[in-house]
Amino acid sequence: MNASPTPRLLSRPNCKINLGLHVVGKRPDGYHDLETVFLPVTQLCDELEIALLPSGETTMTQDGIALDNPPADNLCMKAFKLLQQEFGIGPVAIRLHKHIPFGAGLGGGSSDAAFTLKMLNQLYALGLSVPDLEARAAQLGADCAFFIQNRPAYATGIGDRLTPFDLDLSAYNIVIEIPPDEHVSTREAYAGLHLTPGRRPHLPTALRQPVAEWRNTIVNDFEASVFPAHPAIATLKEDMYRRGASYACMTGSGAAVFGLFKK
């Protein structure tokens, strides 16, 4: 008799970009309140496989783009441990193949963590609802909850308060590029940030304007702190405009830059 196949799931956690990013102010807990619109981008994805193990310890392997942390510290493992502590699940074998660069502002690690929660919920039939998953994802990282529903969202708070945001960019190709050997840590981006009081346009309202007008209204506040230390990122943004982008901007805290090009 043949043994039953090991239950496993395979998914492709995608990245995101930020359409505008306003750092509204610093909170008493040390975090910052933000205003942004998260947009999922499905043409750049990792590969994540989770298989149930009959016994033993949970394992994780990662390949593809080399990461700067060991597998034990990966957010996928932290997502597993979160559910293990609550529901007693396990063990599993996690395999992660990285295509989304880290230190790029693309949310790859957060996406991997959120997809891990969703996959474990399915594999172990935990019955967690979307709000249940979002609440647990928020414990892993500020933008992890976004990847549970994985649809355009207006985000406030630390990026964890999400409101669905309908936006049609089907007339544009989204091009994402990173200058060679450029990485920007979130800590570095915040360290150089100087909050300047001022009236900004209401982001959801500004994003309803034609994309060609975004260049003058939709900004990422982190560019002011990141560009002086990483001029190659600023150069890449200007190069996208020279190549005909209708709009270009750094995403997150960098180092990736995206451009919207008319199809």
Q: Which of 116, 146, 164 is the last residue of a domain?
A: 164
Statement: residue 2 has pLDDT above 60: no
Of the candidates 46, 112, 143, 221, the residue annotated as catalytic is 143
168 is catalytic: no
Statement: residue 60 has pLDDT above 80: yes
CA distances from residue 182 to 83, 105, 245, 255 in whole angstroms, order as listed? 34, 12, 22, 6
Which phi and psi (to 5°) does residue 38 adopt?
A: -85, 135
Confidence of residue 192 (pLDDT cuts 50, 70, 90): confident
How far is 242 from 32, CA to CA, in rounded Å?
34
State whether 116 and 179 are in the same domain: no
* Tens-place pLDDT, residues 126-183: 999 999 999 999 999 989 999 999 999 999 998 889 999 999 999 999 999 999 988 8
How far is 147 from 130, CA to CA, in rounded Å?
11
16 is catalytic: yes
State whether 151 and 189 are in the same domain: no
Query: What is the token pair recorded at 65?
Result: 């783009």
Is residue 91 assigned to a domain?
A: yes
177: domain range? Answer: 172-262
Is residue 191 assigned to a domain?
A: yes
Confidence of residue 4 (pLDDT cuts 50, 70, 90): low
How far is 233 from 200, CA to CA, in rounded Å?
24
User: Nearest to residue 16, comparing CAs of 252, 261, 189, 184?
Assistant: 252
Q: Which of 164, 182, 201 is the last residue of a domain?
A: 164
State whether 135 and 200 are in the same domain: no
Count of the separate structural domains present in the chain: 2
Is residue 220 assigned to a domain?
A: yes
How far is 13 from 197, CA to CA, in rounded Å?
36
CATH number at residue 24: 3.30.230.10
Residue partners of 168: CB distance under 8 A and separation at least 6: none
Of the candidates 16, 98, 118, 237, the residue annotated as catalytic is 16
